[in-house]
Structure 1
Amino acid sequence: MALQRPPKLKHFLWRACKGFLAVKERRLFYRHVVSEKSCSICSSLDETIIHSTFKCATAKEIWAASSFMAQINVAPARSFVERFMWILKNELVTKAALAWASWYCRNKHIFEQDGFNVVEVAKSWVDLAYESNAYAIKVINRTAPTVGPSPSSWSCPSAGTVKVNCDAYLGAKTGLGVVIKSEHGHLLGAAIREEYGGWNVEATRQLHVDLD
């Protein structure tokens, strides 16, 4: 049976691996939103995604309270996706939830500046990650849908409707293609978008296997 993790956890991991989290070094400084790249919490030289989720004072307090600190100290640090691939060895969901909690506490500290116990927050987010599947089964009474292979031939949609087909690929570039056809099979529109990024096929496969 597939486990349903919170969609926000998956979204956080996707954004972190793609480099889309709004840290100073990666996004804000180069878009001229801020004039310097130092961490807003501990004044480290560069506020990177790795720093915000593992090395900042707030993040360190969370990881120090876990059983993973020794592993984190020797993990790769060049990019979040590299470290993410490294920590896939065991207990991925717990580690992902702690990174997620570190990012949440970082934002709460910067934008709300309230006093709160970061370790207790992290524990609650780990619990949320593990309880989400049980909640979905009990309240929604469903499990994650099984995704089968794509059909080998195209069929027309019902009368008065259109059909939208899409596909994606991952590699050195990430691409998404969309085709829209009428009930008679006439082409109504098509589009494609490509991006360069740090997301790779193995990370995507592991994210699907371990979090779904």
Structure 2
Amino acid sequence: MAVNSELHRRHIIEDNYCQRCREDVETVTHAIFKCPTVRSVWENSSFWEEVQQIGEESFEVFKRVTEHYSHHDVYTFSALAWAMWTSRNKALFENSPHDPILLATGFSKYVSDFQVYSAKVFGGRRGNGGISNSTWKKPPAGTLKINVDAATFDDAVGLGVVARNSHGDIVFTGARRWRGRWDSCIAEAAAIHFGVELAIRFGYRDVWCESDALNVVQKIQQKQLGYNYVFLFISSIISLSSSFSSFICSHVKRGGNTVAHFLARTVPPEANEIVNFEQFPESIITLAEMDIG
């Protein structure tokens, strides 16, 4: 994309700074996500947490969104990103005063209108293959519900698991940290595998596993096989799940998976595995209460 950093690298222009804010070099990441002129749009969206984690490689965030969010959310995120690029071009080339928030709202409405139209024309056949919950839901009586998540760091991967009963009470939490650089899809599959391992270890028979990694959940639901490393975890999860009397694997949006997300991101660097059955930290209890919809 023809941002100033790229044009400067090609010796087309002399100044690589953002012409709108003059505070930083204009990269794709800066133009779409980090420039103060567009920041308020992302702050008021459901994607702010993801945007805050963006490094210099802007397309990594698109990968995370497609893995953790529903198709509807992916369309909305893409519309907002395109709206911010349009906002940039309007300011630079059309000298057109406008409100980025109103522009983003208009783009989002186009996406929403198209999805309504698409559902009528195609009969909703473009769904994601299952219902994604926005909030945490209690499992049936006698079923253990385990929520899992993964977090990737520069040189390690954190895995988080929280298990709750039909009353919403925490039964146990688990956290594991492995050294190495992992693809986020593999890390999410490893988190589900960790959760299933713990459920088997502690003798549970009826298990509902929930993750915010939509593509991994779909692979498990569809019992997909393949040669990528992620399928080593997928095939093992499918095999292990046969030992349960009942097993469900479903997708939940990030907002309904906050406890597992917190555990994955805060596992101590020196820890290999931590499992806790009592005296849960106040931060975990508070997040668990907020999780419940």
- Paired residue total: 125
Q: Which has the larger radius of gyration?
A: 2
Secondary structure of 1:29's partner? helix
2:69 is equivalent to residue 87 of structure 1: no
SS in 2 for 1:111: helix
The aligned residue for residue 24 of structure 1 is 4
2:93 maps to: 111
Which amino acid in structure 2 is aligned with residue 23 of structure 1? V
Output the TM-score relative to the length of structure 2: 0.38
1:120 matches 2:102: yes
Does residue 101 in structure 1 map to residue 80 in structure 2? no
- Is the contact made by 2:75 and 2:111 (CA closer than 8 Å) also made in structure 1? yes
Q: 2:19 is matched with which residue: 30, 40, 45?
A: 40
Q: Give 1:109 deviation, angstroms.
A: 1.0
Report the Cα distance in structure 2 between the residues aligned to 1:76 and 1:70, rounded to whole angstroms: 9
Considering Cα pairs closer than 8 Å and 6+ residues apart, tell me whether 1 or 2 has the greater RCO.
1
Contact conserved, 1:29 with 1:36, CA < 8 A, in 2? yes
Is the aligned partner of 1:76 residue 2:58?
Answer: no
Deviations 1:33-90 (A, max 9, x none): 21011001011331000000100122212112223223321x2312122121122211
TM-score by length of 1: 0.51
Check conservation: 1:54, 1:63, Cα contact below 8 A: yes
Of 15, 36, 57, which aligns to 1:57?
36
Structure 2 Cα separation of the partners of residues 80 and 49 of structure 1:
7
In the TM superposition, what whole-angstrom CA distance separates every residue of 1:111-167 from its partner, at most 9, and x where no partner exists?
1222212111101101112222444687xx679xx9xxxxxxxxxxxxxxxxxxxxx
Query: Which consecutive unaligned segments of at least 5 residues does structure 2 have?
Result: 127-184, 186-214, 216-293
AA of the residue aligned to 2:102: E
* Distance of aligned partners of 1:142 and 1:69 in 2 relative to their CA distance in 1, 3 Å threshold: closer
Distance 1:64 1:113 in 2: 25
